[in-house]
Amino acid sequence: MIAKLTGRIESLEADRCVVDVNGVGYLVLASTRSLSALPTGASATLLIETVVREDAIVLYGFADSAEREWFRLLTTVQGVGAKVALSILSALAPRDLIAAIQAGDRASLMRAPGVGAKLAVRLLTELHEKAGAMPTGIGFSPVLPVPGGTGEDALSALAHLGYRRPEAQAAVARVRERLGEELTLDAVIRESLKELAR
């Protein structure tokens, strides 16, 4: 089993790349998020998930371990194959995926090609308990759910400003985790807007 490849990125396409490792070109399928982090013509490292099928051995590549862990978890859900898992990871970063699942945001999941209403509900149902323990892409601290009161009011204000609920929820949770629960509504909104601008 191949777990990691380090080599020159020879070519990039919409959903795949070729990694030249000492003259051997490996075709690696990846999310658009991972592919956008790769420099064409330069050396890079990809974490690999090797999938052996009856008719092929397929390599799936990831720029970080959080995305690979999410790929593994997503493919445990009935109806989610490797292609759909990559589609979900292309549409939502691990942090946004956690926020969407914790918020029960079916619409965000359905932005990924191949995810319909029924599959979105299945993802929300099966992954709700597991999402909080998954990596976010920056360390392993999960996005905490936002309780009512100030947090809910801040979410409502950010939604009126045009932010999607999972993004807003993640930002508010990070602010409250970093600065404490006793912030005023204005402070929560102001700091959340700074988070969202990053």
Does residue 41 share a domain with residue 15?
A: yes
Does residue 120 share a domain with residue 159?
A: no
Q: Whole-angstrom Cα distance, residue 151 to residue 44? A: 40
In a domain, 85, yes or no: yes
Number of neighbouring beta carbons within 10 Å of residue 140: 12
Does residue 88 share a domain with residue 57?
A: no
pLDDT at 148: 52
Residue-wise pLDDT for 66-124, tens only, equals 999 999 999 999 999 999 999 999 999 888 898 889 888 899 899 999 999 999 999 99
Question: Whose structure tokens read 């099966």?
Answer: 126
In a domain, 162, yes or no: yes
Does residue 109 share a domain with residue 58?
A: no
CATH of the domain at 90: 1.10.150.20
CATH of the domain at 34: 2.40.50.140
Does residue 22 share a domain with residue 76?
A: no
In a domain, 141, yes or no: no
CATH of the domain at 183: 1.10.8
In a domain, 142, yes or no: no
Query: Residue 55's domain spans which residues?
Result: 4-62
Quickly count helices (H) and strands (E) in the chain: 9, 5
| Residues with Cβ within 8 Å of residue 63, at least 6 apart in sequence | 30, 33, 34, 37, 38, 46, 47
Instruction: Specify the pTM.
Output: 0.69
In a domain, 138, yes or no: no
In a domain, 178, yes or no: yes
Where does 42-184 have alpha helices with state H? 65-74, 82-91, 94-103, 106-109, 117-131, 150-160, 165-179
Does residue 53 share a domain with residue 14?
A: yes
Q: Is 51 left (phi over 0), alpha (psi -120 to 50) or beta?
A: beta
Banded pLDDT at 177 (limits 50, 70, 90): confident
Average pLDDT, the chain: 85
Q: How many domains does the chain have?
A: 3
In a domain, 145, yes or no: no
